[in-house]
Amino acid sequence: MVLLAPVLLAVAASLSAPARAAAPEPAPAPEMAAEAERTYLADCASCHGDEGRGTNRGPSIVDVGNASTYYYLSTGRMPIDQPEDKVTRRDPAYSPELIEALVEHVDRFGAGGPDLPHVALEAADVAVGGKLYRAQCASCHTTAGGGGALLREDAPPVYHAAPVETAAAIRAGPGTMPAFGEAALSEEELNDVVAYVDYLTQPNDRGGQPLWHLGPLIEGLAAWVLGLGSLVLLALWIGKPA
Ligand code: HEC
Ligand code: HEC
């Protein structure tokens, strides 16, 4: 019966696994395209211009590329209310479908800029990704991914990014982050780094409850308490007279 406890824990963990942003799919429906156009004119054009050429309130986005537009919309950094507002991660303002359609809409303004990469983590090598991460990313985001409180004040933690968002950030190079093109990180290496960042995100949080990142000792204890608790419950349930 002792063997059951980990199984119960695993089931509990899988039931409470957090929902993650889905990868965008190609070709939005025509109604979505119309909604994206309306949304762009209402929410973006006052700063970026009707055709994305920029105004005195916001830069040109004609050639930023799909990776950038996706990054800014999916991480809720755009839209902002005022040009001087802090550009920071928030809940996205739009549904994944509308974000996809907005990305297509902005894409029609110009042809330049990095495309949103296709992320495929099944064959990714997390260990290689870890090496690449420590060499190319840790100087700003820290080795543990908690963000650059010590080294670079403005690098955010990587924990909250869904795999597509990490991939988009790598190719787009938002803000002061450099853009890593295929010469710097091949498609395979990109998948390795994204898988590693995803791994950094998960060890503590996969079970739903982050346990405030107290570390393996406390978390191990918690697992024991939970495990024992479910054993006791199970024993009580089994022991109950029919
Ligand atoms: C109140 C003005 C304002 C509004 C509204 C706004 N933006 Fe922005 N946007 C900015 C400014 C300012 C920046 C530059 C921010 C920075 O780099 O810190 C920016 C940056 C961006 C970038 C990155 C540009 C680059 O060079 O990498 C994209 C993409 C973008 N906005 C898309 C949008 C979209 C799409 C919308 C509508 C959903 C939107 N923005 C609404 C002001 C605005
Ligand atoms: C020079 C410092 C620097 C380096 C190097 C760097 N980043 Fe960044 N990164 C930033 C900054 C600054 C931002 C925030 C940009 C913005 O949106 O304005 C950011 C944003 C991100 C985000 C979005 C976080 C979120 O959820 O909001 C991810 C993920 C990320 N970087 C991953 C990486 C990875 C992976 C690498 C290595 C391949 C890397 N970064 C290299 C500075 C850096």
In tens, the pLDDT along 140-197 reads 998 988 877 555 557 999 999 999 999 999 999 999 999 999 999 999 999 999 999 9
User: 87: closest CA among 77, 95, 79, 96?
Assistant: 77
- Burial class for 175, CB neighbours closer than 10 Å (0-12, 13-18, 19+): exposed
Rounded Cα–Cα distance for residues 185 and 207 (Å): 31
Model confidence band, residue 9 (pLDDT cutoffs 50, 70, 90): very low
What is the three-class DSSP state of 56?
coil
User: 134: closest CA among 144, 124, 125?
Assistant: 144
Half-sphere exposure of 203 (CA within 13 A, CB side): 12
The CB density around residue 134, as the number of other CB atoms within 10 Å, is: 12
Does the pLDDT at position 211 exceed 70?
no
Region for residue 184 given its phi and psi (left: phi exceeds 0; alpha: psi -120 to 50; beta: otherwise)? alpha
Instruction: Among the bound ligands, name the one nearest to the CA of residue 110.
Output: 1
- The response to whether residue 42 sits with its C-beta less than 6 Å from ligand 1 reads no
User: What does the DSSP 8-state code read for residue 75?
Assistant: T
The CB density around residue 129, as the number of other CB atoms within 10 Å, is: 24
- The response to whether residue 215 sits with its C-beta less than 6 Å from ligand 1 reads no
Q: For ligand 1, pick from 37, 41, 44 the residue to mutate: most ligand atoms within 8 Å of CB.
A: 44
Amino acid sitting at position 56? N
pLDDT score, position 217: 54
> How far does the centroid of ligand 1 lie from the alpha carbon of residue 71, in Å?
11
pLDDT score, position 11: 44
User: Taking residues 105-112, what's their average pLDDT?
Assistant: 92
Rounded Cα–Cα distance for residues 78 and 58 (Å): 11
Rounded Cα–Cα distance for residues 71 and 171 (Å): 10
pLDDT score, position 71: 98
